[in-house]
Amino acid sequence: MQHWLVKSEPDEFSIDALQRVGVEPWGGVRNYQARNHLRAMKLGDGLLFYHSSCAQPGVVGIAKVARAAYPDPTQFDPRSDYHDPRSGPDDPRWSAVDVAFARKLQRTIVLDELRAQASRLGDFALLRRGNRLSVLPVTAAQWKTILSLE
């Protein structure tokens, strides 16, 4: 099983929102590197759910990949914010996966704590300077270390 971290702005879609709906299509990703991560995801992969652009940025929950990558339907929808007129159904440019709620953490593992563990976490994509990827890989060791902070 592989592990990943997905960012979401809680004002847009929080871990509580995911808990309510159970399963949510994870689309609207319009960055090639993040898209490639989505495409590499396999059914059952573990996801750290991260709240960004908020008062307390950090890991707030765990989710699972409920469906492997498929063409993101929003790219074909002219009314969607994520519409991409350059992408066609014959050669879809963007992918989505389905994400299923697993559990909330007992508390938020805030970004500051992750930074404080930088030496244990090693080369962690989230802590790299200037990282803005909304989907990024997490090693098994990093997964373990982060959850041990809970």
Partner DNA sequence: GCCAACGTTGGC
Instruction: Tell whether residue 17 is a contact of DNA (CB under 7 A).
Output: no
39 vs 132 by CB, closer to DNA? 132
Give the range of 27-35, 41-49, 62-70, 97-105 binding DNA by CB under 7 A: 27-35
The site that binds DNA (CB under 7 A) totals a number of residues, namely 19
Q: What beta strand segments (E) does 9-144 contain?
A: 23-26, 46-51, 58-71, 95-110, 135-138
To the nearest whole angstrom, how small is the minimum distance from the Cβ of residue 48 to DNA?
A: 13
Q: Does 111 engage in binding with DNA (CB under 7 A)?
A: yes
Q: Does residue 132 bind DNA (CB under 7 A)?
A: yes
- Residue 116 identity (one-letter amino acid): A
DSSP, collapsed to helix, strand or coil, labels residue 43 as coil
Four-residue CA torsion sign, 72, 35, 67, 49: negative
* Residue among 39, 88, 131, 148 that touches DNA (CB under 7 A): 131
The answer to whether 36 contacts DNA (rule: CB under 7 A) is no
Calpha distance 66→45 (Å, rounded): 8
Determine, following the binding rule CB under 7 A, whether residue 32 of this chain makes contact with DNA. yes
The runs of H, that is alpha helices, within 1-150 are 15-21, 32-40, 111-116, 118-121, 140-148
CB neighbours of 146 closer than 8 A, spacing ≥ 6? 48, 59, 109, 114, 117, 121, 138
Nearer to DNA, 89 or 130 (CB): 130
Contact pick of 39, 83, 128, 144 for DNA (by CB under 7 A): 128
Residue type, 144: K
* Chain contacts with DNA (rule: CB under 7 A): 7, 9, 30-33, 52-54, 57, 111-112, 128-134
